[in-house]
Amino acid sequence: MQLGLIGLGKMGGNMRERIRRAGHTVIGYDRNPEISDVSDLAELVDKLEAPRTVWVMVPAGAPTQSVVDELGGLLQPGDTVV
Q: Classify domain 2-81 at the CATH topology level.
A: Rossmann fold (3.40.50)
CA separation for the pair 50, 46 (Å, rounded): 9
Structural domain spans, the chain: 2-81
Per-residue pLDDT of 47-81, as tens digits, reads 999 999 999 999 999 999 999 999 999 999 999 99
B/e letters for 8-30, b = 16+ CB within 10 Å, e = fewer, are beeebbebbeebeeeeeebbbbb
The pLDDT value given to residue 54: 98
The pLDDT value given to residue 14: 97
CA separation for the pair 29, 33 (Å, rounded): 8
The pLDDT value given to residue 59: 95
The pLDDT value given to residue 63: 95
Per-residue pLDDT of 14-55, as tens digits, reads 999 999 999 999 999 999 999 999 999 999 999 999 999 999
